[in-house]
Amino acid sequence: MKHFSTLATVAILSIAFSANVAARGGDNPPERPDFSTIDTDGDGVISFEEFSAKKPPHGDAQTIFDSIDADGNGEISEQELSDHKPPRRER
């Protein structure tokens, strides 16, 4: 019977761990939004106003915008958005 209790405890802990990982989204980063959903006026670039309207999930909108705007022209092109690699979050 003691062997069964140990096995049951291990099974319960395993299920709880799996549920916790699933609830946090595992190791997968949040899905990247599609360019056209941010470029609401359809002019082919994302202004800061369009970008900040989406409320980034982590961090300051201006800081994130500036890190994506590689050429510093105040607009994010589709290429800049696709080339941008967000920093890895530390655990």
Which pLDDT belongs to residue 59?
A: 85
Q: Same domain for 25 and 1?
A: yes
- Name the residue with higher pLDDT: 87 or 35: 35
Residue for token pair 């990247």: 32
In this predicted structure, what is the pLDDT of residue 62? 95
Could you list the residue range(s) of the whole structural domain that residue 62 is in?
31-91
Q: Could you give the number of structural domains in the chain?
A: 2
Are both 48 and 90 inside the same structural domain? Answer: yes
pLDDT in tens, 9-61: 555 655 655 555 555 555 565 677 899 999 999 999 999 999 999 888 788 99
Instruction: Find, among 58, 59, 60, 65, the residue nearest to 38 by Cα.
Output: 65
Supply the pTM of this predicted model.
0.63
Each residue's pLDDT tens digit, 57-84 = 788 999 999 999 999 999 999 999 999 9
Q: Are residues 61 and 89 in the same domain?
A: yes
